[in-house]
Structure 1
């Protein structure tokens, strides 16, 4: 029951923000920390074509991809810091989202599991779980780029 309430809170926050409204500072980060771990939904293309994302969202996911690449070069392997950096980036994506309709719904299919992986990176104390969350994050970033464009 708690997971259902958390999901409703997150979806409300995402829907509210993606239409250009703002929230009080800290609400997005708090919602990100409470994502249930069982969400997995299929992505679909727009009649065989990629969905068009707003520039801010696309840029944000590109920056997440850059964070992954930099992490693999960094020898410290600080997963919690990586999770914090992803969290800041995902908060910016949510705040700046202006997408609507089916493209917006498809963005949520990939974004919500990203938030789950970010939460795991920020909260886990085991390197194995953190590494699995990072692998999932990389897969989700690649899934985003396979299904979205800005053109």
Structure 2
């Protein structure tokens, strides 16, 4: 009888740990991310300038290192850090033609997400955080 209880306890603990672990470490399926208004160069990725890609990667790093997810004020700080990189991308943009247009189609939807990050409502902040995380991950589906 004691062995059955121990096995049941072990199964319960493993199940709970697995569920908690997968809850905290959900991976974004990057290939499935579609950004409305952005298209490929036929079937190829658009070539960007290095500063743009570095800026997006910096924004992804900022998002990844953000840990104060229960503090509304922290989201406003996050927004400011992201907007600084966003502005730098625009300032250093040397792209021309359709690649430039598609990059702008990619970047424009971030503006309302920034606003949501400083909404003052924790649930809205969290939702916009997830939206931004997904949007940034989608960069690799259109640009190189």
* The two structures share one fold, judged by TM-score above 0.5: yes
Q: Which runs of 4+ in 1 moved over 3 A?
A: 73-77
1:132, CA displacement in angstroms?
1.2
Question: Any conservation in 2 of the 1:90–1:115 contact (CA below 8 Å)?
Answer: no
1:102, CA displacement in angstroms?
0.7
Gaps of 5+ in 2: 1-34
Structure-1 residue corresponding to 2:143: 148
Question: Which of the numbers 130, 133, 141 marks the counterpart of 1:135?
Answer: 130
DSSP 3-state at the match of 2:109: helix
Gaps of 5+ in 1: 1-39
Deviations 1:3-22 (A, max 9, x none): xxxxxxxxxxxxxxxxxxxx
Tell me the TM-score normalized by structure 2: 0.69
1:111, CA displacement in angstroms?
0.3
Structure-1 residue corresponding to 2:113: 117
2:65 corresponds to 1:49: no
Question: Which of the numbers 52, 63, 70 marks the counterpart of 2:65?
Answer: 70
> Which residues of 2 match residues 1-150 of structure 1 at below 5 A?
41-71=36-66, 73-74=67-68, 77=71, 78-122=74-118, 124-149=119-144
What is the number of residues matched between the two proteins? 108
Deviations 1:25-62 (A, max 9, x none): xxxxxxxxxxxxxxx84321112111011111110000
CA distance in 2, matches of 1:84, 1:56: 19
Higher Cα Rg, which structure: 2
Deviations 1:83-104 (A, max 9, x none): 0000111011111111111111
